[in-house]
Amino acid sequence: MLENIFEEFLLPISIMVVLPLGIVWIVNRRKMLEMTQRMGLARLALEKNVDLDLSEFLKNLNAPARTLRERILAKLQNGLGMTLAGVGMLAAGAYMMYMNPAEHDYIPFFALSLVFLPIGIGFLAFYFKGKQLLQSEPEEPSAENLEQASEKGQHSLETSKQQDEE
């Protein structure tokens, strides 16, 4: 009886708690290590009295921020992965229920599909809404676009001066 309770309740609950906490700890630990390494490089540069602008050095040392387009594509990737995992769990649970309906081995698969499917659908909803917002917003200015715009502005300014002189 006690062994049955452990297998059916305590083991899945402990996995559901320990696994996410472990993942969060690993990610935070990696970020802290990267920050420590960046600060160590800045300290070495200061100790060696290298003539450099510290703010510019730290700005170049930091990882580049992801663009809005990259973040939206990450939502698509996460959404597809989670949705496919949910559908796979649902199919596995249905197969197990079909093969042996007397045993209740299929219940954890249905439970996991109820976790993965809504999360995946939520990611996909964020992706489509973000894509819609990205298309409605004007393009981000790049160096080439700014140069072209300034050249067009100078050309139109010269044309208007010529028309004023006539």
Q: Are 113 and 89 in contact (CB under 8 A)?
A: yes
What SS3 class is residue 142?
A: coil
CA dihedral 29, 31, 37, 39 (to 10 degrees): -120
Q: Who's near 125: CB < 8 A, 6+ residues apart?
A: 79
Distance CA 35, CA 138 (A): 34
pLDDT in tens, 36-47: 888 887 788 778
Give the model confidence (pLDDT) of 137-146 as tens digits.
765 555 555 5
Tell me, yes or no, whether 49 and 88 share the same domain: no
Does the residue 116 lie in any domain? yes
Distance CA 57, CA 42 (A): 8
pTM: 0.54
Q: Identify whether 131 is part of a domain.
A: yes
The residue segments making up the domain with residue 85 are: 65-137
